C-alpha cells in the first residue's frame, strides 16, 4: 500500500511541476487538473477503505499514512487549482472596515465614498502635493484650508507667506495666507492646481477639504452616513 501511495504522490507532484513549468492552458491544463483531482480522490478512498485481513481497525501507522496522503495531495493540487483560477477564496475572506470605498474603470468616472466617523465628520487622508495629510471634508468651507504644519509638509514654505486675509471660523476670526496646491488626491480621485488657504500657525486645529476642491468635482452628495465624491 505504501508503495502505491508513494507512486501516486510522486506522480501528482510531477504533473504539478510539469504544468507549472510548461504553462499548460485550455483543455490541457483542465485535463491535468481533472487527473489530479481524480487521482487524489482514488488515493483518499483507497487509504480509508484499506483494512487488515481480519477486518480490525486500522493501526495507527495506517491512520497516520492517511493524514500524510491528504496533506501531500492538498499541497500538490491546491496551487495548481489556484493558478488556473478555479479556486478563488477571496469571497470568503473577511474584508477590513475602511472609511472609504473607491470605484473606477480605466475609461470611466471615479467615485470615492467616505463614511461618517464617530464624531459626525467625514475624515480621510488626502495626498496634498503628494504628501499624506489628514483632512476633514467640509462642504461649508469656502476653500481647502491647511494648518501651517500641514502646509509646510506639503512644501508651501509657510515662513514666506503673508497672513493678511481675515476669515471667520468655528473658533473665531483668524488670518490666512493664499496659495495654490499642485494637486489634491483622495483615493483615486485627483484634482490639480487647487486654491488653498493656509492658516496662521496655531490658529487651526485641523485641515479642511473645502469648496475650492469640491466644486472642481463633477458632483458630490450626502446620503445617510456617507458622502460620495465623483469626478
**Grid cell locating 35:** 487527473
Over range 28-45, report the average pLDDT. 55
CA quadruple 166, 168, 169, 170: dihedral sign = positive
CA 129 to each of CA 67, 90, 180, 196: distance values in angstroms, whole numbers, following the listed order: 57, 34, 10, 12
Question: For cell 488657504, what's the residue?
Answer: 197
Helix (H, G, I), strand (E, B) or coil at 55: coil
Q: How many CB atoms lie within 10 A of CB 53?
A: 5
CA distance 139 to 178: 19
* pLDDT computed for residue 90 by the predictor: 39
Taking only the tens place, the pLDDT of each residue in 137-154 is 999 999 999 999 999 999
Confidence label for 105 from pLDDT (cuts 50, 70 and 90)? very low
DSSP 76-135: HHHHHHHHTTS---GGGSPPPP-SEEEE--SSS--EEEEE--TTSSEEEEEEETTEEEEE
How are beta strands 172-186 and 122-128 bridged, if at all? antiparallel
The residue among 114 and 21 whose pLDDT is bigger is 114
Of 1-10, 163-172, 222-231, which range is least confident? Answer: 1-10
User: 69 or 90: whose pLDDT is higher?
Assistant: 69
Q: What is the mean pLDDT of the chain?
A: 75
Cα dihedral across residues 187, 191, 192, 193: positive or negative:
negative
How many angstroms separate the CA atoms of 130 and 92, rounded? 35
Out of 102-106, 158-162, 193-197, 225-229, which region has the weakest mean confidence (pLDDT)?
102-106
Q: Which cell numbers in the block locate residue 64?
A: 497516520
Q: How many CB atoms lie within 10 A of CB 185?
A: 16
Q: pTM above the 0.85 mark?
A: no
Measured between alpha carbons, how far is 199 from 15 in angstroms, rounded to an integer? 67
What band does 22 get if pLDDT is binned at 50, 70 and 90?
A: very low
pLDDT band at 45 (very low <50, low <70, confident <90, very high): low
Q: What is the distance in angstroms between the CA of the first residue and the CA of the last residue of the chain? A: 66
Amino acid at each position: 500500500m505504501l508503495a502505491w501511495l508513494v507512486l501516486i504522490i510522486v506522480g501528482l507532484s510531477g504533473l504539478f511541476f510539469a504544468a507549472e513549468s510548461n504553462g499548460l492552458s485550455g483543455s490541457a491544463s483542465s485535463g491535468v487538473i481533472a487527473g489530479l483531482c481524480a487521482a487524489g480522490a482514488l488515493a483518499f478512498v483507497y487509504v480509508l477503505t484499506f483494512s487488515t485481513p481480519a477486518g480490525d481497525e486500522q493501526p495507527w501507522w495506517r491512520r497516520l499514512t492517511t493524514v500524510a496522503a491528504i496533506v501531500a495531495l492538498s499541497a500538490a493540487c491546491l496551487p495548481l487549482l489556484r493558478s488556473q483560477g478555479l479556486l478563488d477564496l477571496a469571497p470568503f475572506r473577511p474584508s477590513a472596515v475602511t472609511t472609504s470605498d473607491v470605484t473606477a474603470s480605466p475609461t470611466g468616472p471615479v467615485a470615492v465614498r467616505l463614511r461618517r466617523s464617530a464624531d459626525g465628520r467625514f475624515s480621510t487622508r488626502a495626498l496634498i502635493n503628494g504628501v499624506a495629510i489628514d483632512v476633514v471634508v467640509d462642504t461649508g468651507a469656502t476653500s481647502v484650508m491647511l494648518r501651517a504644519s500641514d502646509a509646510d509638509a506639503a512644501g508651501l514654505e509657510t515662513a514666506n507667506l503673508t497672513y493678511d486675509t481675515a476669515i471667520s471660523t468655528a473658533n473665531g476670526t483668524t488670518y490666512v495666507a493664499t496659495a495654490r496646491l499642485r494637486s489634491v488626491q483622495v483615493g483615486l480621485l485627483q484634482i490639480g492646481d487647487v486654491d488653498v488657504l493656509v492658516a496662521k500657525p496655531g490658529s487651526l486645529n485641523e485641515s479642511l477639504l473645502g469648496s475650492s476642491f469640491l466644486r472642481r468635482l463633477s458632483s458630490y452628495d450626502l446620503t445617510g452616513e456617507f458622502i460620495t465624491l465623483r469626478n
